[in-house]
Amino acid sequence: MQLLAISGSLRAGSSNTAVLEAARLVAPAAVEVFLYQGLAALPAFNPDQDTLERGSLPPEAVDLRTRVGRADGILVCSPEYAHGIPGSLKNLLDWLVGSVEFPGKPVALISASSRSVHVQAQLLEVLTTMSARLVAQASVVLAIPPGTTGAEAIAADADLAAVLQGALAAMATAINAGE
């Protein structure tokens, strides 16, 4: 099973990206977690370019849609900026609105902070509108202790690893059950 992990942060050393990398480290053998690396390269969404018929879909958007299409499910972990979705992540989602690959795709929201309540609510609204299949049992909030930085440290923390492993197991169960 392949899960595409999308971090809403462009920051080097992002705790959101580290959480997704930790998920890759603690994933069971049957689950592969691939981190999407193209967020910064996506051009600003332009509906005039959102068509394959005219050949104008940017190659970065084609790559994103291809990766989404190949994935059995998607993990999203995002910071909250000004009580909302970071612009770069919203831009990525806009490129998926008109795609045939995204509707019905299982999606889990993972939060690296219990303080990121607004972004979670906005992501739920946007992803529901986009016809994502939100997997509530796989959507978790991690309480990362101060001083715990990097994927290896998160994966080495027994409590955090257990939360991530539970989320991945719930995601696998939902995908296998077609829920």
112-135 pLDDT tens trace: 988 888 999 999 999 999 999 999
* Predicted confidence band of residue 56 (pLDDT cuts 50, 70, 90): confident
Query: Among 48-57, 58-67, 170-179, where is mean pLDDT lowest?
Result: 48-57
For residue 110, which of 2, 1, 6 has the smallest C-alpha distance?
Answer: 6
For residue 143, the Cα-to-chain-centroid distance in whole angstroms is 18
CB-neighbour burial class of residue 83 (10 A; exposed 0-12, middle 13-18, buried 19+)? exposed
Whether residue 179 is predicted with pLDDT greater than 80 in this model: the reply is no
Take residue 65 and report the two structure tokens written for it: 């849609």
* pLDDT at res. 81: 93
Contacting residues for 64 by C-beta, under 8 A, at least 6 apart = 36, 38, 42, 92, 95, 96
In the predicted model, is pLDDT for residue 55 greater than 80? Answer: no
Give the integer Cα–Cα distance in Å for 173 and 170: 5
Q: In the prediction, which pLDDT does 22 show?
A: 98
pLDDT tens figures, 158-178: 999 999 999 999 999 999 998
Can you tell me the mean pLDDT for 59-82? 97
> Exposed e or buried b for every residue in 153-166, given b needs 16+ CB within 10 A?
ebbebeebbebbbe
Please check whether residue 20 is in contact with residue 155, taking contact to mean a CB–CB distance below 8 angstroms: no
Q: Please give the model's pTM, rounded to 2 decimal places.
A: 0.96
pLDDT attached to residue 116: 85
What is the overall mean pLDDT for the chain?
A: 95
Find how far residue 97's CA is from the centre of its chain.
15
- Report yes or no: 25 and 54 within 8 Å, Cβ to Cβ: no
Question: pLDDT at residue 146 above 70?
Answer: yes
